[in-house]
Structure 1
Amino acid sequence: MTTLLQRLGWRGEALAWDAYQGMFRAMGLERASVAGSALLRRIGPLSGAHHVARVNMRIAFPDAHERELDSLLDAMWDNFGRVLGEFPNMDRFDMSVRSQQVTVEGAEILEDIGRSKAPTVLFSGHFANWEMIGATLAQHLKTCRITYRHANNPIIDRRIIAQRQAYGVRILTPKGGSGAKEMLAALQAGNPVGLMNDQKMNDGIAAPFFGRPAMTASGPARLAQRYDAPLVPMSVRRVEGTRFHVKVHEPLDTPEGSGNEAILQTVTRINEFIEARILEAPEQWFWVHRRFEKPLYKKPK
């Protein structure tokens, strides 16, 4: 049961959200992307997330000089700031087949999935502007059910859902128990599902990631195993400014058999895919996830 104070807090947060959306929307796509970059490059380094990102980068690049990490962190905030500015303008991207703004490599794989009417599990990570993954799936697989992390504020959550629906992402499933049931029902009906698989999940399984054990969601691996479904990776790269290249990769080579060992092997291969994409364009991954053990992120006194 919500209290009056909580409801008032939600409305205050929603007003701030609407102000952010309205400001960047009024700028138009290109200007909003640049403005978001300028803003986050200034305020990002002042946040606690900056420290988390540096710790993660040090794990991934143990031999890097501090100046190299500084440069990479600045580039990360540039990309994330652009995502911040682009999100209110996502419906302004040209997602058509002949688009010069968003090109898709491997679209035929998605078309084959659509024709097969067989359960398929697609996954990706927080690369470049990760909203492009959902937008691409919505263009090619109308029945694909895509998971998302719902906002704690229900007013903002409804705003985000409506915004994603405006650029074609119409079948959204919140993470959690009820969402898991929806994903199972979708796969059982022969529909594809899409998930992000690069965040820490405390009740996941420990799998190698940049040479260290990292708690990783096993959901995609378990869904693929349960329904004997292919596990299809996707990635997106920012080419320049507001131009993107989305790639649909060939299905992962997953181990035969079932059980926990097969799940661990599959999750490890998912992490290997995510790691390889990060190394291709490290400035375009969202490094602020606490992927590793908590003590690593404690600031020295």
Structure 2
Amino acid sequence: MKIVFALLWLLRLLPMWLIGALAWLLGSLAYALARERRRVGLINLRLCFPDMSLAERKLLIRRNFQHMIRLALEYGVCWWSSAERIRKLVTVKNLHYVTDLRAKGEDVILFYPHFVAFEMGAYRMNQDIPLVSVYSHQKNRELDAQIYKGRQRYDNCYIVSRQESLRSIIKAMRQDHAPFLYLPDQDFGPRDSLFVKFFDTDAATIPGLSRIAKLAKAHVVPVIARRVGNRFELEYYPPWENYPTDDVEADTRRMNAFLEERIREIPDQYFWLHKRFKTRPAGQPRFY
């Protein structure tokens, strides 16, 4: 792991276009070699975009591999490049949707889905506002320590373990009204999940966005991180009105519907290599 960290530290010295060129090469190689991940991505696209041809799906997943490798190579920039460099790399749009609420003493949950620019976007975001983040410990101790240290680099992030209760999250949010950075758009298994449509397929979805918003009396502000060429864009969207409601399932479907719209805008930048439909309703066949 020390060799990996050393390589990432050196890579951060390169211009972003050169990191991108290296990611294009390594991503193309990974697409050819990582047969199982490639299969997962193609199944996900078939379920979400049934009208897309096989050739189009293969091209999109190849680009997705390149984006994912680039995400990995950019960790050195996130961890060790100057804050000024990250500020220059990331264009921020509509931050006022959050700062206006915080100025009024309101709490905020940032719905932040898994797009390939999410890591760089989070480091840029944390320069502007404090954040509450849920953290899952990694099996490798060195990697775990580095990720944890990286998330604390601005001394402006309240980290809560995934094993802690909702009360711990809400308590952390109320320190300086720090927004809760929430990424609930993956399959975390059947426990505490609802089966809600994601595109046209039932997907095990954590309804925490609705439940935490209700418990914390917090506003939900979606945020999307995009890669734009060799730069990034972090866009905040207006706070959702009439959210949450008394219908948790409808609230969760609203979350997925918003995400679908953003995916259609940049389909090659979503986390397609994750087994999003791994958990199935009783009696339904497995996809993977």
Shorter-chain TM-score range:
0.7 to 0.9
> C-alpha root-mean-square deviation of aligned residues, in Å?
2.3
Indicate the residue corresponding to 2:24 in structure 1. Answer: 37
- Cα distance in 2 between the residues matched to 1:293 and 1:110: 34
Cα deviation for residue 167 of structure 1 reads 5.7
- Cα distance in 1 between the residues matched to 2:9 and 2:104: 39
- Cα distance in 2 between the residues matched to 1:74 and 1:60: 17
Equivalent residue in structure 2 for 1:281, among 262, 266, 271: 266
Give structure 1 stretches of 5+ with no counterpart.
1-16
Cα deviation for residue 256 of structure 1 reads 6.1
Contact 2:98/2:108 (<8 A) preserved: no
Structure 2 CA distance for partners of 1:18 and 1:167, relative to 1, 3 Å: farther
Contact 1:135/1:169 (<8 A) preserved: no
Q: Residue 121 of structure 1 aligns to a residue in which SS?
A: strand
Indicate the residue corresponding to 1:182 in structure 2. Answer: 168
Structure 2 CA distance for partners of 1:271 and 1:26, relative to 1, 3 Å: same
Cα deviation for residue 69 of structure 1 reads 0.9
Q: Does 1:208 align with 2:197?
A: yes
Structure 2 CA distance for partners of 1:275 and 1:227, relative to 1, 3 Å: same
Q: Does 1:21 align with 2:5?
A: yes
Where do residues 1-301 of structure 1 align in structure 2 (5 Å cutoff)? 17-27=1-11, 28-29=13-14, 30=16, 31-47=18-34, 48-90=36-78, 91-92=80-81, 99-142=87-130, 144-166=131-153, 170-176=157-163, 178=164, 180-188=166-174, 190-202=177-189, 203=191, 204-241=193-230, 243-255=231-243, 257-258=245-246, 262-293=247-278, 295-298=285-288
Q: Which has the higher helix share?
A: 1
Structure 2 CA distance for partners of 1:141 and 1:167, relative to 1, 3 Å: closer
Equivalent residue pairs, number: 275
Q: Residue 276 of structure 1 aligns to a residue in which SS?
A: helix
- Cα distance in 1 between the residues matched to 2:82 and 2:151: 13
Contact 1:41/1:81 (<8 A) preserved: no
Compute the TM-score of the two structures, normalised by the length of structure 2. Answer: 0.86
Q: Deviations over 1:82-136 (max 9, x none)?
A: 1011012114266689x54210111112221332332211111111321133223
- Cα distance in 1 between the residues matched to 2:183 and 2:31: 23
Contact 2:109/2:180 (<8 A) preserved: yes
Indicate the residue corresponding to 2:282 in structure 1. Answer: none
Q: In percent, how many aligned pairs have the same letter? A: 24
- Cα distance in 2 between the residues matched to 1:93 and 1:282: 30
- Cα distance in 2 between the residues matched to 1:156 and 1:233: 29
Give structure 2 stretches of 5+ with no counterpart.
280-284
Contact 1:230/1:251 (<8 A) preserved: yes
Contact 2:210/2:252 (<8 A) preserved: yes
Cα deviation for residue 36 of structure 1 reads 3.1
Compute the TM-score of the two structures, normalised by the length of structure 1. Answer: 0.83
- Cα distance in 1 between the residues matched to 2:82 and 2:52: 36
